[in-house]
Structure 1
């Protein structure tokens, strides 16, 4: 089935890249739209106006809708005009949003859906993990797997590359020359930049093999998979000096989480410290097998840390 109408939910860091690569794809022959809050579309804020104009210059249609405030029937009515929907909202919309979106998509009978699951392998991590938001992702998968009308693809990307290097994540602090391995030095993490995710997603949606790729299963992509030991060696080389090093054990992170149960950072540190479902072999990824390389940790660090 030819793709004629694509709706991207959200236009943040990831959504903007997905929209850009969709509109610029060599096989693009579809209407591309972005679902944005009505207040965003009519905003007079100069920064927001500039962002909206950039989308309009790409040929993106702006569709008003609020995934938090709107009820499912209203979202279903909006979605019904599209044949492919891509979720790019992240967890910031709050609990229950991803399942609400999935229900609205299924109620509309959308032919193809990519839910917002651009991250880890939730099936491997399983239910009841330290990051309670992950259970909702499994609820969405259960909903998709229990029906046959809407074909779907989940694009598993690992962590956004920049997050791994952000001081707030607690691993790399380039400025203060400190490094903290999560779980162990040999634990690995798969990372992909939003730009690469946008590029991969556009090709999955619009490429020649698109219909085969919507096979009701995850598609694994990646820019790099790296251990904390390798990452520490990389940043020390770039800095030209040794870093203060430590390992945050899973037990330590879990203990801290008991004392501060709403700490989102600790929830992620426990999951990544456990090391399950957060890394896969880049040579086995869809993009690598297509001959499409993603940005490596070293390339990102050289471009952004020096």
Structure 2
């Protein structure tokens, strides 16, 4: 078996954020507010310049004092990523499944191989321990694999931050659950089913607060929530915002399953089925980190007003 020994430079920078999308930038800004960029202590991993999207915030990041490291998560080997990660004490993964199936497992394996002290994986979503495998959404299965990998070792501390769905995704027209323009709300599975949602900006602030918390948090699943509600309550909130009645349409389990069977390559239909649950996709706000620490967050009603 090939062995690769990696030694951390004594001048290693403290934190690497993987990705500078909506969530990555929110985490970076929150870390900077806490002084984590001082002395070049904050870096971000971006795609190579030849493959970078035109809106990549390179200049903004440099102006913020953030160091830029480049690698292609999809094509880079585990060893190549481990060599990069070995320069950092903390790695925060803020890039989802754009690298294709297996990317999150590969990143996690590289983090462990590098001997990173502390890792925050891309688990900013549902409670994968409760959802488990076979939910209808294959990427959820990979998230369960990541948890198993982390729990099976003791060399790297980890923090899983469960946030629920991004608030904006709930209102994304392509997702189809809320149609603000036409005044429609669809319930997934049942009107009593609940969802937890949190905005990326709040996730960024809460992630930075969780990392800085004393006593230190390690090897735990930490729950946060901007809002938790049933589909009935969601329809009520949308009606209040629009000032008129909305059409309420139930997508029951039979319909959702048949849609996935008829369109097996449609990711959104798989998400509909995966979120049509009465467990694992919602939790009470009272026990969340933001609630117990008195950190204000944006609920759905406020998000609708601010949008």
Shorter chain as denominator, the TM-score bin is: over 0.9
Match of 2:132 in 1: 126
Other-structure match for 1:218: 221
Give the corresponding residue for 2:29: 20
User: Counterpart of 1:175?
Assistant: 181
Cα drift, residue 63 of structure 1: 0.5
Q: Which runs of 5+ in 2 are unaligned?
A: 1-11
Rounded Cα–Cα distance in structure 1 between residues aligned with 2:276 and 2:142: 21
C-alpha separation in 1, matches of 2:222 and 2:68:
28
Q: Measure the CA separation in 2 of the matches of 1:180 and 1:189.
A: 13
C-alpha distance after superposition, 1:116-151 (max 9, x if no partner): 000000010011110011111111111111110000
Structure 1 residue 38: Cα displacement: 1.5
- Secondary structure of 1:70's counterpart equals coil
Q: 2:168 aligned with 1:158, yes or no?
A: no
Q: Report how far residue 94 of structure 1 moved.
A: 1.1
Residues 219-251 of structure 1 deviation map (CA, whole Å, 9 limit, x = unaligned): 001111011111111111111111121100111
> As a proportion of its length, which structure holds more helix?
1
Shift of 1:29: 5.3
Structure 1: gaps spanning 5 or more residues: none
Measure the CA separation in 2 of the matches of 1:27 and 1:11: 16
Match of residue 189 from structure 1: 195
Tell me what 1:95 maps to: 101
CA contact (8 A) 1:41 1:64 kept: no
Q: Distance in 2 between matches of 1:128 and 1:42?
A: 34
After superposition, the C-alpha distances for 1:29-75 in whole angstroms (9 at most, x for unaligned) are 570100011226988x4x43xx2111112111000111111111110
Question: Taking structure 1 as reference, are residues 128 and 172 closer, same or farther at Cα in structure 2, changes over 3 Å only?
Answer: same
Q: CA deviation at 1:26?
A: 5.1
Q: Shift in Å at residue 268 of structure 1? A: 1.1
Q: What CA distance in whole angstroms lies between the structure 1 residues aligned with 2:306 and 2:114?
A: 43
Pair 1:298-2:304 in alignment = no
Aligned 8 A contact 2:28 2:204 in 1? yes
User: Residue 133 of structure 1 aligns to a residue in which SS?
Assistant: helix
Moved over 2 A (4+): 26-30, 40-43, 206-209
Q: Which residue of 2 aligns with 1:37?
A: 47
- Cα distance per residue 1:141-162 (max 9 Å; x no partner): 1111111000000000000001
SS at 1:166 equivalent: coil
Q: Do the aligned partners of residues 290 and 205 (structure 1) sit closer, same or farther apart at CA in structure 2, a change above 3 Å counting?
A: same
SS in structure 1 at match of 2:95? coil
* Alpha-carbon separation, structure 2, partners of 1:252 and 1:102: 36
Matches within 5 A, 1:275-294: 275-294=278-297
Structure 1 contact 250–274 (Cα < 8 Å) conserved? no
For the residues of structure 1 that align with 2:274 and 2:109, how far apart are their CA atoms? 28
Aligned with 1:242 (options 232, 235, 245): 245
5 Å matches for 1:264-275?
264-275=267-278
User: With structure 2 as the length reference, what TM-score do the two structures score?
Assistant: 0.92
Is it true that 1:263 corresponds to 2:261 in the alignment?
no
**27-36 vs 140-149, which deviates more?**
27-36
For the residue of structure 2 that corresponds to 1:33, the secondary structure is strand
Contact 2:118 / 2:157 at 8 angstroms: preserved in 1? yes
- Say if 2:19 and 2:94, in contact at 8 Å, map to a contact too: yes
- 2: CA distance, partners of 1:195 / 1:58: 17
Q: Does 1:253 align with 2:256?
A: yes
* Contact 1:272 1:278 survives alignment (8 Å): yes
